Amino acid sequence: MTTDGPAIDPRSGDAPTFREPWEAQAFAIVVKLHERGLFTWREWADALATQIARAQAEGDADRGDTYYHHWLAALESIVAAKGASSAHELARYAQAWEHAAERTPHGEPIELQPHDFGR
């Protein structure tokens, strides 16, 4: 295995499976940001390993059901560390998504609207 890209090619028969659409989206964002040169694959692997170790130190049972939560936390961390966004902006969007999710009926797609940022 090289450190030039993901260990699993999402276009191959070895593609990972996702429990929720957001997991696939988070995976795709990481791949795309790597392709655009925001970080090396080694930097990504280190960020993800750091996040997983932190979660395990805080009591994560490591049953596999929290993996993409760690993936997302590592993504937010590396994006902020690289200056592509700020921790404040990421938190602002997270709150907006929570607001949008609260007002969206179950089973409907969640869409951000300007008033989601006003809380």
Domain count of the fold of the chain: 1
Is residue 12 in a domain? no
**Does residue 101 lie within any of the structural domains?**
yes
| Residue 3 contacts residue 40 (beta carbons within 8 Å) | yes
pLDDT digits (tens, 9 = 90+) for 38-75: 999 999 999 999 999 999 999 998 888 899 999 999 99
Within a domain: 43: yes
Query: How far is it, in rounded angstroms, from Cα 28 to Cα 30?
Result: 5
16: phi then psi, degrees, rounded to nearest 5: -70, 155
CB 23 within 8 A of CB 69: no
Identify the domain containing residue 64 by its residue range: 21-117
pTM higher than the cut 0.85: no
pLDDT in tens, 7-44: 555 455 566 678 888 899 999 999 999 999 999 999 99
**1, part of any domain:** no
Residue 105 belongs to a domain:
yes
In a domain, 60, yes or no: yes
